[in-house]
Amino acid sequence: MCREPSDWEKVVAFHGHSCPGLALGFRAAQAGMACLNELRDEDEEIFAVVENDACGVDAVMVLTGCTLGKGNLLFKDLGKQAYIFGSRKTGRAVRVVVKNPIWRQEPGYADLAARVMSGQASPEEKDEFARRRDERTRQLLEMPTEELLRITELDFPFPERARVFKSLQCAECGEWAMEPRMRLREGRTVCLSCAGEYTRGW
């Protein structure tokens, strides 16, 4: 008899491997959804704002059902292990923040990881890194929520639902793009790629 994969197994299958970063996103999404008393969304009733583009975002997508394609996954490039989850049904939102990246403070871990990532590690070092990574992942999955995460209720301005816009053809390259992303250049409608940038440093 076939066994239904656990949520963690589904997340690992989607991401491609198990790692501490994935575990952080998994725990954050679990906690956020539990606080909102919500289940995985099929449409846009749930939204998520992620403040990093690291491994944990994949876990957020799998557990919440929020995706870029549906327009209910928003990315803010702040470099923080922080996530906002909101429910349109209840009007509630919570922010979930990882308290401290303690796994990075383990003696020798950063140097070992750097050697592995640069391709300079020996087979023994690769094995040691995998062992320590897997152990840290297990610890993060089992750590009490109150030790790992800070969860706060927010008065959050809900993002508008995803909209479908008219497409216009770029007068320069001929490709089509959504109307709000087009620009005028010398009186011609062009896409952002062809518009060029104008900045004065601010």
Its CATH architecture, for the domain 7-154, is: 2-Layer Sandwich (3.30)
Parts of the chain belonging to CATH 3.30.60: 164-202
DSSP track, 113-151:
HHHHHTT---HHHHHHHHHHHHHHHHHHHHS-HHHHEEE
Class of the CATH-defined domain 164-202: alpha beta
Q: Please report which residue ranges of the chain form alpha helices under DSSP H.
A: 7-15, 20-36, 56-64, 109-117, 123-142, 145-148, 192-195
Q: Which residues pair with 154 in a beta bridge?
A: 93
Q: Given this model, what pLDDT does residue 105 score? A: 65
| Angstrom distance (rounded) from CA 25 to CA 98 | 9
Q: Residue with structure tokens 């005028």?
A: 184
Parts of the chain belonging to CATH 3.30.1330.130: 7-154
- Which residues, 6+ apart, have CB-to-CB distance to 13 below 8 Å? 5
Can you give the pTM of this predicted structure? 0.84
3-class secondary structure, 3: coil
pLDDT, one tens digit for every residue, the chain (202 residues): 678 999 999 999 999 999 999 999 999 999 999 999 999 988 889 999 999 999 999 999 999 999 999 999 999 999 999 999 999 999 999 999 999 766 556 778 888 888 899 999 899 999 999 999 999 999 999 999 999 999 999 998 888 888 889 999 999 999 999 999 999 999 999 999 999 887 777 6
> What percentage of the chain exceeds 90 in pLDDT?
76
